[in-house]
Amino acid sequence: MKRLLFLLLCILASASAWSAININTATSQELQTLRGIGPSKARAIIEHRKQHGPFKTTQELVNVPGIGEKTLRRLEKDLILSGPSVAPQP
């Protein structure tokens, strides 16, 4: 039973590693797969990216209107700065 529980926990932990959104290339739909990011925040991220160029660090997301430190902390584990986005499957 302990082994089964351990295996289940490992699978759940690795599942979150399978989703990573590249904030420098993600579409609005990909950004909206992030918890707490709806259409308006996704648009704000994309607009900030267009005006200021690619994000150099995930911390720069706090410069986007509507995204604060609390939101960044919640999202940070699901964000990447390069490579393809891997959105969670519905």
pLDDT score recorded for residue 19: 76
- Quick check: 42 and 28 in contact, CB under 8 A? yes
Tens digit of each residue's pLDDT (9 = 90 or more) over 4-39 = 555 544 454 444 446 799 999 999 999 999 999 999
Q: Domain range spanning residue 62?
A: 20-80
Residue 90 counted as domain residue:
no
Residue 8 counted as domain residue:
no
pLDDT score recorded for residue 87: 74
Query: Domain with 38 in it: what CATH number?
Result: 1.10.150.320
Residue 4 counted as domain residue:
no
The residue type of 1 is M
pLDDT score recorded for residue 4: 54
Residue 35 counted as domain residue:
yes
* In the block, residue with structure tokens 């607009």: 47
Tens digit of each residue's pLDDT (9 = 90 or more) over 53-70 = 999 999 999 999 999 999
pLDDT at 2 over 50: yes
Residue 34 counted as domain residue:
yes
Residue 67 counted as domain residue:
yes
pLDDT at 89 over 50: yes
Total domain count, the chain: 1
Phi and psi at residue 82, to the nearest 5°: -150, 165
Tell me which DSSP letter residue 34 carries.
Answer: S
